[in-house]
Structure 1
């Protein structure tokens, strides 16, 4: 579709993982997964290849005609769920600063730290100096936390201008509205699935700014509600194919 956001194509891998992640216990029969995926328009042979690759990659564990998510992937989903429904607190005007005080000669390590800071919704003021309004908890793995020094301060620059410069909330909001329109006009479940995958990625990029710094109207809550509506729909389809009685 034309616009600010890219809608990924439906894949067997995403259908399998999304179906299992929506179950109370991430375990299902392979026949049930095949039936669900083919209902969405995927070929059985394509789904079987995806299952084999997911097992080989350690994302799935397969035994006796059934498969389940690996513990690693279950934990990744828990982290994603926390990101989709983050805890925020009232904002007192302060900003959190994270300063890289222990560098690395490894480009891989530098890229990992940068990615972790971005996922924590910090914006880069300059190389090695990251900041955001102090309205969310900042959590980092110990091995990365030791490389950072943290400060709390009030910027001289107006917070609305600084937030706009670091996070471009108006751009995020425009893309969110576009995704909501795409979700509401998608004619079939498979089409909504593709839009929902893009919505998840977009929600994970929500800067989670205080309301005082957001443009109005802010579509963040509406986008989350739209995604939850789709997830409930998908869970219903998955339950029909993947519950023990239907396996």
Structure 2
């Protein structure tokens, strides 16, 4: 987080190993991704997009039945003529983490340079508070911290306020120790790039960005031929793009560019993804239905860096 004949309908998902091969999209996340601004999902649209993604009608029927039984949606009508209405905000995990995404684009624009400081966090939480301990550990990982030793984490980004706030909410702030250093050493390794390569799975993260870039580039080429002939094609591309963007961004610790191999594929992938979202938003809808709120969420997360 720019008339020609309309392009042919989007093809079915490509075989594994192609540029179109990517993360599977669970049926309930597809339902969540198609929630409109008014909180509704058009079942006809849902079934059509699901078909383009290789899902069966039976999968969707069972998923809808479960979501209604869980109280997450209500249903008016039956089959493809039904309307689902969200009981709460259920956009799902395909929605972008706006703060995370904006920081990534700020880094790409050179607006968040690294000052050479490492931020370390240590905690020793007793087994009686195991749930709180595990939650804090997952929060640190979500913020991009890597484990140095049991109970000791490090990141290059200044996230102390976020870590302390979470520890306070969990009632374990008194167990948290934090410090900063510009002299981090692991064994005999002191070079910042070498330390980053040792602490984070950069090759795996880079490959996820390469996959995102390949998908976005292919869809941009298709969109350049003309707008989608049907809304379902536009929505299918949006859902796939959101899934691939999430798969690339969630495990990315957003290390400062000074610590990454050059060129770093994340920069190109995010630029192509932003261009793709822009083209999708500009594509005129062929029906009267409003776009899913996913479009607005990405438009907000991909606002130009200040």
- Bin of the TM-score, shorter chain as denominator length: 0.7 to 0.9
Q: How far apart are residue 152 of structure 1 and its match?
A: 1.7
What is aligned with 2:97?
Answer: 80
What is aligned with 1:134?
Answer: 157
- Supply the distance in 2 between the matched residues of 1:14 and 1:196 (Cα, whole angstroms): 11
Which segment is superposed worse, 186-195 or 131-140? Answer: 186-195
Structure 1: stretches of 5+ with no match in the other structure: none
Q: How far apart are residue 154 of structure 1 and its match?
A: 1.5
Give CA-to-partner distance per residue, 1:117-138, whole Å, 9 cap, x none.
1111101111100011135565
Residues 229/241 of structure 1: CA separation in 2 closer, same or farther (3 Å cut): farther
- 1:98·1:129 contact (CA, 8 Å) conserved in 2? yes
The one of 47, 55, 62 equivalent to 2:74 is: 62
**Normalising by structure 2, what TM-score?**
0.62
- Supply the distance in 2 between the matched residues of 1:78 and 1:11 (Cα, whole angstroms): 14
The one of 64, 84, 92 equivalent to 1:51 is: 64
RMSD of the alignment, in Å? 3.8
- 1:135·1:210 contact (CA, 8 Å) conserved in 2? no
What is aligned with 1:163?
Answer: 196
What is aligned with 1:122?
Answer: 145
What is aligned with 2:247?
Answer: 201
Matched position secondary structure for 2:178 = strand
Task: Tell me which structure has the larger Cα radius of gyration.
Answer: 2
- Supply the distance in 2 between the matched residues of 1:49 and 1:175 (Cα, whole angstroms): 31
Structure 2: stretches of 5+ with no match in the other structure: 1-15, 78-82, 107-111, 185-189, 223-232, 292-306
- 1:113·1:144 contact (CA, 8 Å) conserved in 2? no
Paired residues, what number? 240
Q: How far apart are residue 228 of structure 1 and its match?
A: 4.0
The one of 162, 171, 176 equivalent to 1:148 is: 176
What is aligned with 1:217?
Answer: 263
What is aligned with 1:92?
Answer: 115
**Normalising by structure 1, what TM-score?**
0.74
1:27 matched to 2:50? The reply is no
- 1:95·1:154 contact (CA, 8 Å) conserved in 2? yes
- Supply the distance in 2 between the matched residues of 1:40 and 1:233 (Cα, whole angstroms): 20
